[in-house]
Structure 1
Amino acid sequence: MTNRRVHAESVAATTVEDQFWIKPFIGVGLLSVAALLASTWAASSAEENMVKSHGYSYYGDLDYPADYRHFNYVNPDAPKGGEISIAFVGTLDSMNPYSGKGRAHLFSVYPYESLLSEAPTASVPADVYGQAYCLLCESVEYPEDKSWVIFNMRPEAKFSDGTPVTAHDVAFSHNLLLDQGLKSYADAVRKRIPKVEVLDDLTIKFYFAEGLSRRSMIEQVGGVTVWSKKWFEDTGQKLNETWIEGPPGSGPYVIDEIDLSRRIVLKRNPDYWGNDLPVNVGRNNFDTIRLEIFADDTAAFEAFKAGEYTFRAEGDSKKWAAGYDFPKVDNGYVVREELTDGAPPSPTGIIFNLASPELQDTRVREALALAFNFEWSNESLLYGLFQRRSSFTQDTPLMATGVPEGAELEFLQNLGDVVPSEMLTEEVYVPPTSDAGRLFDRGNARKAMSLLQDAGFPVGEDGRRVGPDGQPFTLDFLFSSSSSPTTRSVMENYVANLDSLGINVNFEVVDTAQYTSRERARDYDMVVDRYASFLGTGTGLAQYYGSEAAEYSLFNPSGLASPLVDAIIDASLHAETREEEVTSLKALDRALRYEFIMIPLWYNPDHWVAYYDQYEHPEEIPPYALGYLDFWWSNEEKAQALRDAGALR
């Protein structure tokens, strides 16, 4: 599935340790058979096998009935008002994240909405996965075979400039993304969605291609960002150009202030058309959301302590363990919380550019992985607070374990020769453990040297390794200066281990603008980045892990192009039951680990948050969103007390 968060491909990324902004969004969620059997969500016609509903999920189960009043996890009586302010570390130069040019922040997406519910930073609803409810539309209808879909739009929907949101705007936005948007997205969508038809001002129909899986197609078109056709025609603005002042949106927030060197401010639109919709009750509670921009995280943290911004989603283990000992914590002005995170962690790691000649041989990549000592890094630099990730679907029922057996083994065997024989008999790849007492585990060092020797990278007379061509073995390791000092220290020690193997590494720490530009050009051998985790299948899997656009897709930083992975993704799209889907995705996790596209790093099973004691949240945080910009709220009495005490600037 590809939605407006995915369209916004150039949205600025956070540091490796930060798990708070980017969450899994591909495919459908973990669905129960009981919920499916008990579902009463749809009105069906026996003659036409038609479905008409207030929302959509592939398996037909919606937890919230047509007359739902609000999502279960929100506070429907949450007061409106106040401000929440957060920090961004790095540089920004655009407010257009859809162009693939420049560097924009997620705030640039906030003014816009789509036909089906979602939020820029969270799943909506956040307590179930793979379900979407009508937002700009009031109903969705489609035949049993999902060969097309009709969205019936809400007549009251309007942009912030007062003009109505119509089916013409939806069709225009869909086509704009195809004509001027990211190539990897446009190429994939054109093959699957051959036609869009405006039936009238408030009714739009999308047709889906024959012979291809319809999996995630309805979510795809339902998640397209809807822009004002009139604004683009009046201004002549192009989607593939950098802009600062963008089109009006229909969402609850408008951009109030833009200074890309200092701050971005969102203001709640008092005339927002959708305030009272059930999908919005208890949400969008702050009057303003402010982003303060800093060059590095040290400056950002000092600003938090001084009260220049009020909420911090912490990703740096050193700061979490030892940095919150300042007086405002001791006197209760600043609250620290660890809140359960129910979503699988993003597959973050040191990603290999598979197009690099030095990295073609899997044995070389395995040797490089043996040089990373997670146990030493965790104990010496990360305060023992993280866990090692091994899976692309970590700690979920989709996580591959051991040797394939049962339904998974049968699934892999049915794929034929595309599956390597060793995958059927060997245990799934798990990162090696290391001695936490020394930087480079001796046993792993010996294994790494042996693998490099076997792969044709011997040690020369000067003690440095050379490749099969006799040239020095040299790797360019790209790293962003906006990452935390702790992460940088871990990577510098990893580079020291590579040096001890005789490998020359150019560890290039560059500013965020240069980092973004070079990463898009794949100008690196290794880079610290992430892929998307998944809880279900969808056509978005092919954009991340498939061969279709591997040479140029920004979603696929390793350039993975594997017939094995392609075959598994295709089979998952044709799964007829949730059980078959789980089996296929467990095999996908196994295959991705077999392909060895990255060195897995670490993850935090909890959210770490620190904030000035003026915010409140539901007692139970839903599993798929922390939601501090979505469904938290401000207690103005507490906020005033902080101001009176001089705790805030």
Structure 2
Amino acid sequence: MIRTTPRAANTRPARFIGSALLALGIAMAPAAHAQDDEKIITSHGVSSFGELKYPEGFEHWEYVNPDAPKGGEMSTWAFGTFDSLTPFILKGNAAAMSAVFYDSLLTGNLDEPDSMYGLVAESVEYPESREWITFHMRPEAMFRDGTPVTADDVVFSFETLRDKGRPAFRVQFQDITSAEAIDEHTVKFTFNPEGPLRELLMTAGGLPIFSKAYYENRDFAESSLEPPMGSGPFELLSVDPGRSVAYKRRDDYWAKDLPVNVGENNFDVLRVEYFADYTTAFEAFKAGAYTYREEYQSRIWATGYNFPAIADGHVVVETLPDGRPAGTQGFFFNLRRDKFQDARVREAIGMAFNFEWANESLFYGLYERTDSFWENSDTLQATGTPSEAELELLEPIREFIPETVFTEEAFSPAQSSPDDLADRRALRAAGRLLTDAGWEVADDGFRYKDGQRLTIEVLNDSPSFDRIVNPYIDNLKRLGIEATANRVDAAEAQEREKNFEYDIVTQRFAMSQTPGDELRSVFGSETAEVPGSANVAGLANEGVDQLIRAIADAESRDELVTAVHALDRVLRAMHIWVPQWYKGVHSVAYRDVYERPYEDTPPPYGLGEMSIWWWNEDRATELRAAGAL
């Protein structure tokens, strides 16, 4: 799950970890279920559909500079606080980028949405049915302390995450039936034949690998600031809890010359500075406290980037295209609360948010309204009425989903007046929905049903977000709702979100171009009551579960797109959120000490700023001489 507040990027697109809890599973078993005549595939990677882009023996990703120099520092910022270097457990708040300590069996890249290639694993074997997979591990893979990475470590990692990791991992692992170390460097995973087999190969491949020996005298479930034992490209350089964390590139990293790492991990140091709000973080950037910033505040982007370092050529400001879905950002309802059970109430509350006024008055016209859970994706975003192929998926679940899915076009919020926050037409329509749902306005001006007043608290942890939330609260009050904005510090917000202690909370999820079984973490019934899960809405709907399974079981990209369209239109019709806004570009600024392997067009699935960019020491010397670095 990615919050609306920015988090520092990972150094590479490995599938494990992530704020989104796209939890990766792994398991193995001694018995294969392939038929005697079933073809066994041997490969250097796995792909959801079709062929791998990069052939066996490839030298490097085509978007990197294989001769990029090593050195320098990339520093950025993160919001809130942290007190742990353990990102896989519910206890504590993990530091940004703390996944850099770990390798996985396979790793992804920035120009394929559905492929992974060997990292710790040199090759894989699996049957066409995908009911199991065997990883042949590289004997040269070593942990930071020089001990080898073994199959026993992989099995230990799976069992530890399943038993002691965030509760959502257990949900993700439910279709992994067993795990076995065949020998010291061969590990096999066996899956439930009825599970989402297309996804499970990469779920297994993306497992972060821990050192079994390291945890013999340590409790994995306890948060810690001790540098963990990983086999990844970085180790801890320094940590100041709640303030900053820095990671140092390992010169002795065992995999630095593998094709998947050539041209990657170019900085000696990755540093993250923490701040309590956007404005303070921006002022710190201007003062040189960190070197790279992606701007998420339209007001700052429109009015703030005119400081002397830009005029002097010491800071570069640019807009780069973003080829990914724009992200699912909105005010999410907590459906665990009785007052939000009626979709008419949720729709009415959504109508009180005047995006057009906010965009004109607050955002300088820089944003567009989000309506889809796959916004900015021409391929995956549902449009119009359901196709025949979609109806084949939707008809069997008709009893679980809104009838409007069949009778209306995919839901998009109605436009409000940009000139008047209190758009009377929109508020009147919202009021009628509340009345139809049984919430009547009493003499005191508030709405009641069965003697209970309609109250709503919007949870917020960012002072800079007040200017957005407070006008929304004003409109909700005009509807007779006792609405309040509760701004808390980041630590309290994180704890309340883990335990679902909110009415409405703002969240943003980064959706994949090849979504699959990880959608259960965000929308699946199994995760609705799992503490710390990404299912912030508490959605538990059998029809949605069946559509997620259809996505995970898709055997072609056409089938996948059809199932995603169906899920997108169902989620939109259910009004589980009030969609906010998006901007399908990266707005970035950085000290002019970096170079990169592309000019204006980054790889389709990320900028790669933390990994494939590199440091220009000559330019850094010039900036130091000018007092600008």
Are 2:556 and 1:577 aligned?
A: yes
- Correspondent of 1:402 among 384, 408, 424: 384
Give the residue type in structure 2 aligned to 1:489: R
- Give the drift of 1:27: 12
TM-score normalized by the length of structure 1:
0.90
The 1:55/1:73 distance shift into structure 2, 3 A limit, reads same
Kept in 2: contact 1:114–1:223 (CA 8 A): yes
**1:503-542 pair list within 5 angstroms:** 503-542=481-520
Greater shift in the superposed pair: 334-343 or 529-538 = 529-538
Are 2:348 and 1:380 aligned?
A: no
Q: Distance in 1 between matches of 2:48 and 2:563?
A: 16
Kept in 2: contact 1:252–1:284 (CA 8 A): yes
Q: Distance in 2 between matches of 1:424 and 1:357?
A: 27
Kept in 2: contact 1:413–1:419 (CA 8 A): no
Are 2:203 and 1:220 aligned?
A: yes
Aligned length: 609
Are 2:582 and 1:593 aligned?
A: no
Give the residue type in structure 2 aligned to 1:182: R
The runs of 5 or more residues in structure 1 that have no matched partner are 1-8, 29-44, 118-123
Give the residue type in structure 2 aligned to 1:540: E
Q: Distance in 2 between matches of 1:259 and 1:253?
A: 17
- Correspondent of 1:607 among 567, 586, 593: 586
Q: Distance in 1 between matches of 2:64 and 2:20?
A: 21
Q: Distance in 1 between matches of 2:9 and 2:420?
A: 32
- Give the drift of 1:546: 1.2
- Give the drift of 1:414: 4.8
Give the residue type in structure 2 aligned to 1:524: Y
The 1:212/1:299 distance shift into structure 2, 3 A limit, reads closer
Matched residue of 1:564: which SS?
helix
- Give the drift of 1:14: 4.6
1:201 matched residue in structure 2: 184
Q: Distance in 1 between matches of 2:340 and 2:253?
A: 52
1:166 matched residue in structure 2: 150
CA deviations 1:75-111 (Å, max 9, x no partner) are: 1111111111112231211111211112112222111
- Give the drift of 1:611: 0.5
Q: Distance in 2 between matches of 1:292 and 1:431?
A: 37
Q: Distance in 2 between matches of 1:499 and 1:17?
A: 30
- Correspondent of 2:91 among 76, 79, 101: 101
Kept in 2: contact 1:87–1:292 (CA 8 A): yes
Give the residue type in structure 2 aligned to 1:205: K
- Give the drift of 1:24: 8.2
- Correspondent of 2:321 among 321, 340, 350: 340
Give the residue type in structure 2 aligned to 1:460: A
Are 2:28 and 1:75 aligned?
A: no
Give the residue type in structure 1 aligned to 2:147: T
Are 2:85 and 1:85 aligned?
A: no
Give the residue type in structure 2 aligned to 1:113: D
Kept in 2: contact 1:24–1:532 (CA 8 A): yes
Give the residue type in structure 2 aligned to 1:231: Y
Q: Distance in 2 between matches of 1:268 and 1:27?
A: 26
The runs of 5 or more residues in structure 2 that have no matched partner are 11-17, 25-34
Give the residue type in structure 1 aligned to 2:431: M
2:166 matched residue in structure 1: 182
Kept in 2: contact 1:371–1:497 (CA 8 A): yes
CA deviations 1:471-524 (Å, max 9, x no partner) are: 32111211113xx61x32011111111111111122110001100111111111
Kept in 2: contact 1:85–1:290 (CA 8 A): yes
**1:196-595 pair list within 5 angstroms:** 196-233=179-216, 236-396=217-377, 397-415=379-397, 417-466=399-448, 468-481=449-462, 485=464, 487-552=465-530, 554-595=533-574
Q: Distance in 1 between matches of 2:548 and 2:4?
A: 29
Kept in 2: contact 1:375–1:436 (CA 8 A): yes
Q: Distance in 1 between matches of 2:7 and 2:97?
A: 17
- Give the drift of 1:225: 0.6
- Give the drift of 1:591: 0.9
Kept in 1: contact 2:85–2:225 (CA 8 A): yes
Kept in 1: contact 2:233–2:256 (CA 8 A): yes
The 1:432/1:23 distance shift into structure 2, 3 A limit, reads farther
- Give the drift of 1:330: 0.6
CA deviations 1:22-78 (Å, max 9, x no partner) are: 7989699xxxxxxxxxxxxxxxx9955010101101224100000211101111111
Kept in 2: contact 1:26–1:537 (CA 8 A): no
Q: Distance in 2 between matches of 1:550 and 1:340?
A: 35
CA deviations 1:341-377 (Å, max 9, x no partner) are: 0000221100000011211111111110110010110
Matched residue of 1:251: which SS?
coil
Q: Distance in 2 between matches of 1:432 and 1:20?
A: 34
Matched residue of 2:98: which SS?
helix
CA deviations 1:172-231 (Å, max 9, x no partner) are: 101100111122221341x31111110111000011113323121111111111011110
Give the residue type in structure 2 aligned to 1:628: E
Kept in 1: contact 2:5–2:79 (CA 8 A): no
Q: Identity of aligned pairs, percent?
A: 45
Kept in 2: contact 1:98–1:239 (CA 8 A): no
Are 2:87 and 1:141 aligned?
A: no
Q: Distance in 2 between matches of 1:567 and 1:262?
A: 44
